[in-house]
Amino acid sequence: MAGKGRNCVPRALRQKVRAGLWQETISRFGENSMAMVGFYVIAAVAIVAIFAPLISFHDPYEINLRQRLLLPSGAHILGTDAFGRDMLSRIIYGARISLLVGLIPSFISIGIGSAVGVTSGYLGGKIDFILMRVADIVIAFPSLLLAMVIMYTLGAGLSNIFIALSFVGWAEAARVVRSQVLSLREQGFVEAAKAMGVRRRAIMARHIFPNCLPSLVVLFTLKVPEFILAEASLSFLGVGAQPPVPSWGLLVSQGKEFIFSAPWVVAFPGGAIFLVALAFNFVGDGLREALDPYLKR
Amino acid sequence: MATVPVLIGVSILIFVMLNIIPGDPVAVMMKERISPDVVEKVKAQMGLDDPLIVRYFRFIGGALRGDFGMSYKLNRPVSRLIMQAFPNTLALALAAALVSWLIGIPAGVLSALKPNTIIDRAFMGFSVAGISMPIFWSALLMQYLFALKLGWLPVSGFYGAKYLLMPAVALGWSAAGTIARLSRSSLLDVMQKDYIRTARAKGLSEVRVVVYHALKNALLPVVTVMAIQVASFLSGAVITESVFGIPGLGRLAVDAIRTRDMPLLEGSVLFATFLVVMGNAMADILYSTLDPRIRYGR
């Protein structure tokens, strides 16, 4: 993918070139207006999530049965749910869950995937064969069904979602990394490192892996929305986060019975999922285009 | 072909994940309190006392003959439940695929013909929106708008083509984005080729160049993805089926989880994954048939 030709450059120079690559990427990214909008949306949501207790006017768990399903108004900007809880506060606290559930499993699955991919691609042979067949099996599953089976085994709950999504996601990362490593290991700088007597593990960690980073960054930003949607789906189906946790998927699920009388209890939390997933997808696409200028003509 | 080993691996993974849970299936089946003696007897009868590996071979032996055991809760053969659900899911998957092609391909082609224009940006924004949309949300909003407010379509259930429209759009739109992006990048690629320049140099009209020379080649990878997509619809209709009350495979799996009906979950997930693996294999074959430059095997 990104910049194959610069690998035969001496190390000192290469570091300069690499700093240049990231700088260039950032400046190209900055010119992409959609990607920048996505970036600002994510930044705003992250700030809201971090400072949730300071921002929300109401306790997201406070039940008030006299104020059930209130229309959006001055006191409750986004209305209230079936238990009289303030929707805006619940959505603000839900942002914490969605961001964590997007970021942590993406990080874990890409971590595992890169370790597997680099090992598999660089060592080759039997290890490669076995690791890739295992990845094939995981990829063969429809991901939501596999996540559902894991949740069935581990039991519903937020912490198990991290495990389920990490397990579902690593195989794709492993494949992406492996295919890059296959071409990287034939390059001159790897030959040179080998000739200098650098150990195998050091070659994999310090020479091969850093060259996979650009595509891993893109994969990461595209995994986040996928996992946010997956968590929302699992919670919507009742096998993810459990009440009264204000997960966005769960909010929609709880609101769906009231959609005909109070559509806002479905519209707002679902809209939040949509907005954040959209923002991450724009950023991911922007990064991909910025890292690979030939992609867009 | 790697299809068979993958399927064996898939069956092992499902079986192990569902059979290592400490939860006692006999206790799940019987609601009232029963004496431990009876539990032991029933367990022995069902062969649940045997070691895991014996049970796996019994399971896979049955699965090969199309026997996935009895559902704990519904007390009917799992294979019959699956076969009842499958046609509904198939109808939904094909309808959704049709929607995604009808939206995705024209959007992708128009974007590629006018790259980096407003049209291109609008279509691509639209397709990213499709990918980012939680299906359960768009489905619920459609129900609100088209069933309740406008009264054009039935809210849910499955009694005919009319009932299929909203679910197909909900499911198909999310995939239209992928199709649109793929056809765009593929067509952009083809339009740079020498034979397109040759065709133009011959004096062919632009429409002829695009339709007869470019599209034929550009849509090859798209066709492959379509085949994979139908398979993923077959298994991925879980949410759509739940929201619209369609008695299909996905609903079966969700109900199985809700009632902790292990054989039903095992059977439906294995069957759905089987469909995906076969879909991928068929896509490979289709691709090599359509494109004579590609040959698999040695």
Q: What is the pLDDT of residues B84-103, one digit of tens each?
A: 999 999 899 999 999 999 99
Across chain B, mean pLDDT equals 84
Instruction: Give mean pLDDT, residues A210-221.
Output: 89
Q: Using the beta-carbon criterion (under 8 Å), do B235 and A145 form an inter-chain contact?
A: yes
Distance CA A41, CA A50 (A): 14
Give chain A positions within 8 Å (CB) of B133. Answer: 274, 277
Q: Using the beta-carbon criterion (under 8 Å), do B137 and A233 form an inter-chain contact?
A: no
Distance from CA of residue A205 to its chain's centroid? 23
Instruction: Give mean pLDDT, residues A55-81.
Output: 77
Q: Which amino acid is at B251?
A: R
CB contact B13 to A (< 8 Å): yes
Position of tokens 């632009």?
A: B206
- Provide ipTM, 2 decimals: 0.85
> What tens digit of pLDDT does each residue of A79-135 get?
777 777 888 888 999 999 999 999 999 999 999 999 999 999 999 899 999 999 999
DSSP string, B186-227: HHHHHHTSHHHHHHHHTT--HHHIIIIIIHHHHHHHHHHHHH
Q: Beta partners for A86? A: A80
pLDDT of residue A276: 95
How far apart are the CA of A185 and the nearest CA of chain B, in angstroms?
A: 25
Query: pLDDT category, B223, cuts 50, 70, 90?
Result: confident
> What tens digit of pLDDT does each residue of B114-155 get?
888 888 888 888 888 888 989 899 889 888 888 887 878 887
For residue B291, count other CB atoms closer than 10 A to its CB: 14
Tokens linked to B133:
């949309």
> What tens digit of pLDDT does each residue of A159-214 get?
899 999 999 999 999 999 999 999 888 888 988 998 999 998 899 988 899 988 88
Q: Using the beta-carbon criterion (under 8 Å), do A253 and B136 form an inter-chain contact?
A: yes
Q: Which amino acid is at A55?
A: I
pLDDT of residue B32: 61
Highest mean pLDDT among A272-276, A290-294, B113-117: A272-276
